[in-house]
Chains A and B, each alone.
Chain A
Amino acid sequence: MQQKNSIRFRIVDFLLILMMIIPVTVLIVVKLLTNVPAEGISVTGAKIYFEISMPFQNLLITESQINSWMVMISITGLCLYLTHGIGVKVKNRRQHLAEWIVEKTDNLVKGNMGEYFMAFSPFIGAILGLSAFSSLICLFGLYSPTSDINVVGGWAILTFILITYYKSKCGPWVYIKSFGDPVTLLAPLNIISEVATPISMAFRHYGNVLSGSVISVLLAAGLQGLSSMVLGWLPGVLGDIPFLQIGIPAVLSIYFDVFSGCLQAFIFAMLTMLYVSGAFPMEEYFKRKKKKQTKAMSN
């Protein structure tokens, strides 16, 4: 293990902090350089940086992809920073934080999914981290990837894959039969609800974040208009400054960006846990496993 406070240790620490900060800084600089002042009120999607031709549909590399990658690099830097110099006897703030994160997600997973799904803990941590930081990135004035349906849709589809995997763990026949529950007549509705799960998850998350940013844009424009109407009589430059825009959007931003972003991340993680653990017919699975074991033993 490296010596604490040695120069090498400090340099690595510094590099890891840079790894956290630089991606966001780069994004801010790029945003400032490429920003075109919008005419009036405009609510648009992500900027398209370049296009790669692919089968079915062209792959568009947009702001949301770039921002996601940068967020991922930052999170990786954060993980490395938190676990740098970690040890049994070492007790500092970052180790406390790292242990706190691990223990909290472990407890969350254990409480909502049970002991069997303990391997899900890092996955839930990843969802929480990626979703929360993607939403919080708009505090820097950046485009948050979670307000893009494609990003959240990808996560929801992954959740759907997990749900289906755990549902069909007892074999395809049990999976198909689960749709005829409680009566075969309800099978179409069950199939619809099955498909609706990822769609509703994706739209819930995406809609909440997007609506927040739309309201922010509308509010900013509205306040600007109100300001010029009420305070327009002030002489010279003073009349042009939208004084009402000071303060009020910041308060709303705390709700729409910070609170809503974190809450949606938590909701998405919670729903993932509940759907996946609910989809797994645990009793049936263990019954079959036991049966198989006894069969193998008797053979």
Chain B
Amino acid sequence: MQTLDVISVNLWQILISLINLVLLFLIIKKFLYKPVRKVLQQRQNEIDTIYKEANDAKETAISDKNYWDEKLKNAENEADTIISDATSKANIRKNAILSEAKQTAEGIIRQAENDAELERKKAEAEIKTEIVDLSTALAEKILEREIKMDDHKELIDSFVENLGDK
């Protein structure tokens, strides 16, 4: 079998080798770089989505936390206002009750005073009558004479009056 010389230039062989390299470039591009790049791109996309989701979740969590913090603070304030409201209402009510009780007590006291006054007056009148009667009877017995009832009564009345005033 014939062999080439160590150095021999053949245009067609050069062309074939040139085309070979271009062909292999296309083959490698299509069968190695394209699928690998696709996979790398997909992976990158997946990573990006996961990162985005994580960031979103974090943001949501932070906003939720702020919301609930705000809510908690509001609730505290609300509780405070409720308590203070209740306290002031209770105070008002207490004062009302107290004043009412005072009034009632005063009324009762006044009533009692009036009653006592009335009793006293009644008793006074009764005593007066009694005294008059008694003194009349006593005087009748002592004098044993006929006395004009009206004159005596007047006399004794003025006497008793003077007694009471003293």
Which A residues are closer than 8 A to B by beta carbons? 34, 36, 43-49, 54, 56-60, 62, 64-65, 68-69, 72, 75-76, 79-80, 82-83, 86-88, 95, 98-99, 101-102, 121-123, 125-127, 129-130, 145, 148-155, 157-158, 210
Do B20 and A153 touch across chains, with their CB atoms under 8 A apart?
A: no
Do B33 and A121 touch across chains, with their CB atoms under 8 A apart?
A: yes
How many residues of B are in contact with the other chain, CB < 8 A?
39
Contact of B7 among A69, A149, A155 (CB under 8 A): A149
- Considering the complex of A and B, which 7 residue pairs feature the smallest CB-CB distances, nearest first? A154-B17, A45-B4, A150-B13, A154-B18, A122-B29, A59-B12, A79-B31
8 Å CB interface, B88-106 against A? none
Contact of A99 among B9, B25, B36 (CB under 8 A): B36
Considering the chains assembled together, what is the distance between the CA atoms of A49 and B40 in angstroms? 44
Which B residues are closer than 8 A to A by beta carbons? 1-25, 27-29, 31-33, 35-37, 39-40, 42-43, 46
Do A101 and B32 touch across chains, with their CB atoms under 8 A apart?
A: yes
Looking across the interface, which residue of chain A has its beta carbon closest to that of B10?
A150
Do A47 and B36 touch across chains, with their CB atoms under 8 A apart?
A: no
Considering the chains assembled together, what is the distance between the CA atoms of A49 and B13 in angstroms? 13
Contact A123/B1 with A79-B31, A99-B40, A154-B16 known, Cβ cut-off 8 Å: no
Contacts of B43 in A (CB 8 A): 88
A-B contact count (CB 8 A): 147
Contact A102/B27 with A48-B1, A65-B16, A150-B14 known, Cβ cut-off 8 Å: no
With both chains docked as a complex, state the minimum distance between the C-beta of A25 and any C-beta of chain B, in angstroms: 21
Do B20 and A69 touch across chains, with their CB atoms under 8 A apart?
A: yes
Contact of A158 among B22, B32, B42 (CB under 8 A): B22
Do B3 and A98 touch across chains, with their CB atoms under 8 A apart?
A: no
With both chains docked as a complex, state the minimum distance between the C-beta of A48 and any C-beta of chain B, in angstroms: 5
Considering the chains assembled together, what is the distance between the CA atoms of A127 and B28 in angstroms? 10
Do B13 and A60 touch across chains, with their CB atoms under 8 A apart?
A: yes
With both chains docked as a complex, state the minimum distance between the C-beta of A141 and any C-beta of chain B, in angstroms: 16
Residue of B8, B24, B27 ringed by the most chain A CB atoms within 10 A = B24
Contacts of B15 in A (CB 8 A): 154
With both chains docked as a complex, state the minimum distance between the C-beta of B44 and any C-beta of chain A, in angstroms: 10
Looking across the interface, which residue of chain A has its beta carbon closest to that of B31?
A79
Contact A57/B1 with A68-B17, A98-B36, A125-B33 known, Cβ cut-off 8 Å: no
With both chains docked as a complex, state the minimum distance between the C-beta of B112 and any C-beta of chain A, in angstroms: 100
Contacts of B9 in A (CB 8 A): 149-150, 153
With both chains docked as a complex, state the minimum distance between the C-beta of A12 and any C-beta of chain B, in angstroms: 14
Contact of A48 among B4, B18, B33, B35 (CB under 8 A): B4
Contacts of B40 in A (CB 8 A): 99, 102
Do B6 and A210 touch across chains, with their CB atoms under 8 A apart?
A: yes
With both chains docked as a complex, state the minimum distance between the C-beta of B21 and any C-beta of chain A, in angstroms: 5
Task: List 6 A-B pairs, Cβ < 8 Å.
Answer: A45-B7, A99-B36, A101-B36, A150-B9, A150-B10, A153-B17
With both chains docked as a complex, state the minimum distance between the C-beta of B98 and any C-beta of chain A, in angstroms: 81
Do A86 and B36 touch across chains, with their CB atoms under 8 A apart?
A: yes
Contact of A122 among B4, B20, B28, B46 (CB under 8 A): B28
Contact A65/B21 with A45-B6, A86-B36, A126-B28 known, Cβ cut-off 8 Å: no
Contact of A62 among B13, B21, B23, B25 (CB under 8 A): B13
Contacts of B36 in A (CB 8 A): 83, 86, 98-99, 101-102
Contact A154/B10 with A44-B4, A86-B39, A122-B32 known, Cβ cut-off 8 Å: no
Residue of A72, A79, A127, A145 ringed by the most chain B CB atoms within 10 A = A79
Considering the chains assembled together, what is the distance between the CA atoms of A292 and B40 in angstroms? 36
Beyond A62-B13, A75-B28, A101-B36, 13 additional pairs, beta carbon < 8 A: A44-B3, A44-B4, A46-B3, A47-B4, A62-B4, A87-B39, A98-B32, A122-B28, A126-B28, A149-B9, A151-B20, A154-B16, A155-B21
Contact A48/B2 with A56-B11, A122-B33, A129-B24 known, Cβ cut-off 8 Å: yes
